[in-house]
């Protein structure tokens, strides 16, 4: 009799912990995608479709991407990027994991998306305030809490004047101490969501909704606009 498969979340946390113990807080993404490509792990956030809250936003807002650019943070295997490209945006999607980018290209061989390997903590300078739409889903929360302020700042810095930032993240209460969160992920507090905003990048819409597969857990969807 074969042994039961290990919980994917447990595998993910073990891989992440190995990287963190080596003082490599972002290296676990490549390790996880590489293990998944070999059938030794499952990427927990790879849904095989665009995120539900992104799809709902697209349906509600009905943005026209014609003549506009978009950046997808933490592309993973590409499903969110493909939805945005289908809206007409000239879409760039990046991930720190080369294996994730290879998987995205393989999953979407006829894609219009430009998939590239890049680091959110040190993005290409030509991206600075260059995109009409920036979409961040679950990337910041996959980083240790002490790195999140830098990541949040970099996400916002890619939004062009007049552009929109959409952030989707797991939620946690502001009164839950950082040390009580054993990630990954490290869900975002309301104060973390507020910190995406700056003097010229304004929060215009925020919802907090239950996760349909785990109703006791909640998710943020926040929309910001740069002056």
The pLDDT tens digits for 157-170 are 999 999 999 999 99
Say what the pLDDT of residue 2 is: 42
Say what the pLDDT of residue 101 is: 97
Say what the pLDDT of residue 8 is: 66
State how far the Cα of 29 lies from the Cα of 41, in Å rounded to an integer.
12
What are the tens digits of pLDDT across the range 15-71? 877 877 788 888 888 988 988 888 887 887 787 899 999 999 999 999 999 999 999
Say what the pLDDT of residue 3 is: 44
Lowest mean per-residue pLDDT among 25-34, 70-79, 128-137 = 25-34
Q: For residue 4, is pLDDT > 50? A: no
pLDDT-derived band at 6 (thresholds 50, 70, 90) equals low
Q: For residue 13, is pLDDT > 80? A: no
pLDDT-derived band at 206 (thresholds 50, 70, 90) equals very high
Phi-psi domain of 28 (left: phi exceeds 0; alpha: psi -120 through 50; beta: other) = alpha
Supply the mean pLDDT for the chain: 92
Q: Look at residues 202, 206, 167 and name the one whose alpha carbon lies nearest to residue 187.
A: 167
Q: What is the mean pLDDT of residues 98-106?
A: 95
């Amino acid at each position: 009799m074969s042994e039961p498969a290990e919980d994917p979340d447990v595998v993910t946390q073990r891989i992440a912990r190995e990287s963190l113990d080596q003082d490599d807080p972002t290296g676990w993404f490549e390790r996880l995608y590489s293990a998944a490509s070999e059938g030794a792990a499952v990427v927990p956030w790879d849904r095989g479709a665009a995120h539900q809250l992104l799809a709902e936003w697209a349906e509600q807002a009905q943005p026209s991407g014609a003549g506009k650019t978009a950046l997808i943070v933490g592309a993973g295997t590409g499903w969110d990027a493909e939805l945005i490209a289908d809206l007409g945006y000239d879409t760039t999607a990046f991930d720190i994991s080369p294996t994730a980018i290879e998987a995205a290209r393989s999953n979407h061989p006829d894609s219009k998306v430009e998939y590239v390997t890049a680091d959110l903590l040190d993005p290409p300078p030509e991206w600075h305030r260059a995109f009409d739409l920036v979409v961040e889903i679950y990337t910041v929360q996959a980083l240790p809490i002490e790195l999140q302020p830098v990541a949040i700042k970099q996400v916002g810095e890619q939004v062009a004047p007049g552009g929109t930032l959409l952030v989707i993240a797991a939620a946690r209460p502001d009164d839950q101490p950082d040390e009580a969160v054993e990630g990954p992920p490290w869900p975002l507090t309301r104060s973390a969501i507020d910190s995406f905003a700056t003097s010229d990048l304004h929060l215009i819409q925020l919802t907090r909704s239950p996760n349909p597969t785990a109703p006791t857990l909640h998710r943020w969807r926040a929309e910001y606009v740069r002056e």
